[in-house]
Amino acid sequence: MWIKQVLNQDLTFQHIKIIYPTAPPRPYTPMKGRISTVWFDRFKISNDCPEHLESIDIMCQVLTDLIDDEVRSGIKKNRILVGGFSMGGCMAMHLAYRNHQDVAGVFALSSFLNKASVVYQALQKSDGVLPELFQCHGTADELVLHSWGEETNSMLKSLGVGTKFHSFPGVYHELSRAELEKLQSWIITKLPGELEKQNE
C-alpha cells in the first residue's frame, strides 16, 4: 500500500473506518488495450477528449453499492468521505458530485476532470449544498499536469463547490508525506471524533 510506504504506517483514525476499494483489471486504451488495474478506461490521458462514460458509470454503481452497504450498517451519509489518488480521485468526484451530493466531502490527489466532464453538467443542475473538495497536486507531475488539476478546481469552484487546492513543489505523480499529513488533518476536521467535538 502506497500510504504505508510514504507514512511508514497506514492512515488510521480511532473513530473512522477506512475502506480501500481496488480497481478491477480491465483493458486500458492508453496502454494499447493491455490489461491494467484502472478504475475506468480513457480514450487518452488528456483533459481534452470525451470521457469514457460507460466504464465510469459501471464503477460508480459498484462504489454506490459500497456506500449503500455502509449506510445500511448504520453510518450516516454525512459521515462518509470519498476520495482517491489519480483516477481514484477522478472517480470520487464523479461518484460524489453526480450521485452522492450528501456525503461529507471529497478528496482528489493528483487528479483531474476532462474539460467537458458530465460532473460539471450535473453540478449546473444542482441547487443544494455540495460536499467540500480537498485537492492536492505536485507541480512536477508529468503524467497528470498540475494545470489540469488547477483547471478542474476552478471549474468546480465556479459551480459552487467549496474547495481548497494545495500545490506541492517538486512532487511528481506520487503521494508525498506532507500531502498525506495535510489530508489527515482535513479528514479530522470533516469527521471529528467525540474528543475533537468537545474541544471545538
Q: Which residues are annotated as catalytic?
A: 86, 141, 173
What single-letter DSSP state applies at residue 173?
S
Q: Read out DSSP for 20-89?
A: ---PPEEEEGGGTTEEEE-SS--SSSSSSS---HHHHHHHHHHHHHHHHHHHHTT--GGG-EEEEETHHH
Residue with cell 486504451: 29
Among residues 110, 101, 112, 106, which one has the least CA distance to residue 42?
Answer: 112
Beta bridge partners of 81: 105
Burial 69-104 (b: 16+ CB within 10 A, else e): eeeeeeeeeebbbbbbbbbbbbbbbbbbbbbbeebb
- What is the CB neighbour count within 10 angstroms for residue 56? 22
The set of cell numbers assigned to 57 is: 458509470
Cα 180 → chain centroid:
13
**Phi first, then psi: what are they for 30, rounded to 5°?**
-60, -15
